[in-house]
Structure 1
């Protein structure tokens, strides 16, 4: 019994892995129980059916490319991610390793494929990517806020503090005006301190 047949026998009832083989015409020659059960909504008997009936049309070229590499490099495994119909109008993601099969006379006999479902992993990767992109957007916003606070807002505020100080230096101001200027100066200083704290916090 060759290694392909041994693997098929060993993993025929696997609940984690898919095993399929195709002949040189691109038709299924074997599927294990897990694959048959997972894609029962497509066909009740895959043997003799075209290999591509389960997959996303855009992934057919990937499958052909990887299969070609298998025969160009006999004995080597080649990876591929293939989307498969889920029976609900969408697709699941599956990852495969392909290997060329040969008969006893060393003639090409088909392709052996071992795969598993990676939909959850892909979903987590997509979610992580979105989170990173969102974080980058927020970082840009924070940088813009820091710039506006430290340059655009504080510049006129500093001018206001300076002008108020000049007014207070004038001895001709009456007491009411002087008191008002002192209140303006105190308020602007407090606002300046708040802006400084915002900038410092945003940068940490």
Structure 2
């Protein structure tokens, strides 16, 4: 940990913080100090939770307990930090328990970085996927309705018109029947094309 701390002391991307057994900051690297300077000008001695969303304190406590129960292991945590504008930054961390030479617990070493853009991109992607799924469901419903609920009555109209046209002696009525059959046939063809296009688009996606 000392090597990591020395290596990343001046990092522009990674945060390093160390909290003592009282839950107060005992060390922060410059990047962390600069990033959250609007919260406090000197974090050392301040409670670890002053930068974070209230609900994420429980996450920190749970991960810290895992660290002390499993010395030498790293445990991840995503923590929301105040952004100074009424919102939050998302940060990804790895925690590891610190022990002295006599194996007594000394605190928690935390290495983290900002994942706000990643979280935003993922949320946008999930939103797009959800929209696509809803659209696909709607298209399936439309396809079913057009294929079954519309074409079935159209078929009946075609059949009844054909029967009426053949049985009628009234020339004017027969012409009307033929016009109905022609219009119904065109409508049936249009519905068929719509259903086929929906099926084709869903297969491509």
TM-score tier after normalising by the smaller chain length:
over 0.9
Divergent runs of 4+, >4 A: none
Q: Counterparts of 1:50 and 1:171 in 2: how far apart (Å)?
A: 94
What corresponds to 1:58 in structure 2? 55
Q: Counterparts of 2:177 and 2:168 in 1: how far apart (Å)?
A: 13
CA-to-aligned-CA distance 1:114-147 (integer Å, 9 cap, x gap): 0000011111111111111111211121111111
Deviation for aligned residue 1:171: 5.4
What corresponds to 1:135 in structure 2? 132
TM-score (norm 1): 0.95
Q: Would you say how many aligned residue pairs link Structure 1 and Structure 2?
A: 200
CA-to-aligned-CA distance 1:56-105 (integer Å, 9 cap, x gap): 00000000100111110000000000000000000000000000111122
Deviation for aligned residue 1:170: 2.2
Q: Is the 8 A contact 2:20 2:26 kept in 1?
A: yes
CA-to-aligned-CA distance 1:34-69 (integer Å, 9 cap, x gap): 100100010000000000000000000000100111
Residues 33-112 of structure 1: pairs in structure 2 closer than 5 A: 33-112=30-109
Pick the aligned partner of 1:201 from 186, 192, 197: 197
Residues 123-162 of structure 1: pairs in structure 2 closer than 5 A: 123-162=120-159
Q: CA RMSD in A?
A: 1.0
Pick the aligned partner of 1:165 from 162, 167, 177: 162
Q: Which runs of 5+ in 2 are unaligned?
A: 201-205
Partner-residue secondary structure (3-state), 2:59: helix
What corresponds to 1:187 in structure 2? 183
What corresponds to 1:32 in structure 2? 29
What corresponds to 1:17 in structure 2? 14
Most deviating of 98-107 and 39-48: 98-107
TM-score (norm 2): 0.95
Partner-residue secondary structure (3-state), 1:45: coil
Q: Is the 8 A contact 2:16 2:32 kept in 1?
A: yes
Pick the aligned partner of 2:116 from 119, 124, 128: 119
Partner-residue secondary structure (3-state), 1:76: coil
